[in-house]
Amino acid sequence: MDPTALRYKIPKRHLTVSYIPTEEKKTTKSPFAIISYNSFLGVRAPRKKHSRRRNDPSLKMHHHCISPVLLLSSCFIMMLLCAEGQPRNNWYPGTATWYGDPEGDGSTGGACGYGAMVSMKPLKGRVGAVGPALFRDGKGCGACYKVKCLDQRICSKRAVTVIITDECPGCPSDRTQFDLSGAVFGRLSLPGQNSLLRNRGQIPIIYKRTPCLYGGKDIAFQINEGSTPYWLSLLVMYEDGDGDVSSMQIQEAGSSEWLQMKHLWGANWVIIRGPLKGPFSVKLSTSTGKSLIAKDVIPSNWSPKVTYPSRLHFLH
């Protein structure tokens, strides 16, 4: 039960309900715990049948004065109780559907702009789409999640890794839904039950964020079609770790200034300025604040639709 839903009515002669701010945790949605000290601390109310005890001043002091040590202890215990009601290990509830061919890799390209990458290793058979909450207008592109089906009758106990490469237009905005490629969805089932699982259409799942792993592939930068020295657009590929991009900057040859790029769409970023002179260094920052600099990764004689590897990784 949500701790914010707990309320105890206490007579005015006793200690009233108190709001105790608790330490905020990533998995704790409620910043407050609402409790009654008389109920929680085990302070017994006076017995009505002994009216003379209610008039004893020493007893009144006993009920209205709580030592600071006891108060702090109660706060700590309540924080532990609140944390117990939250998903462990950052697992969250959601639902999953599937799209495309039953054994397919999902739509080619998608709303992130990865193009044919989704049908090639290491993305092949691992991609999916998400709704607005996780897509984040494209800044959720490239993030990786562990997804586990909860129907034990036909689902495997193992979790599968999903890389976000697309947006799900029909997914609700008030809850989390994954729209998986047919290949990923089938891997959630027990052996021989993948067709039966697909026939369910929508299934209950739990999910959590997980580091992206690309088998030693270097982070790379693709120059998007249409780029010029005055309009330069980049797509980040094979970004391990967080997988997403919250900020991107470039630095021209011979300059110490970092130029901020703008989020264009999906996983694509752009800078409109010029003429820009290479070679270019690129600085990537992720949603958790991690960053790296790929020095002179894009040569002065760069060309559109060419991918330039960086020889760098977030994870070592």
Give the residue with greater pLDDT, 257 vs 2.
Answer: 257
Quote the pLDDT of residue 19: 39
Mean pLDDT, rounded, for 205-225: 95
Q: Is 90-209 CATH 3.40.50.300?
A: no
User: Is-contact 111 134, C-beta < 8 A?
Assistant: no
Residue 108: which pLDDT band, with cuts at 50, 70 and 90? Answer: low
pLDDT of 18 > 50? The answer is: no
Which two three-digit tokens encode residue 46? 């006076």
Quote the pLDDT of residue 119: 84
- Dihedral sign for Cα 211, 175, 167, 188, please: positive
- 220-309: CATH topology: Immunoglobulin-like (2.60.40)
Beta bridge partners of 251: 281
Q: Over the stretch 268-279, which tens digit does the pLDDT of each residue have?
A: 999 999 899 999
For the chain, residues classed under CATH 2.60.40.760 are 220-309
Task: Quote the DSSP letter at residue 90.
Answer: G
Quote the pLDDT of residue 173: 85
Give, in degrees to the nearest 5, the angle at Cα 208 between 204 and 211.
140
With b for 16 or more beta-carbon neighbours within 10 A and e for fewer, the 277-302 pattern comes to ebbbbbbbbbbeeeebebeebbeeeb
Share the mean pLDDT of the chain.
Answer: 78
For the chain, residues classed under CATH 2.40.40.10 are 90-209
Quote the pLDDT of residue 89: 61
Quote the pLDDT of residue 162: 96
Single-letter amino acid, residue 253? A
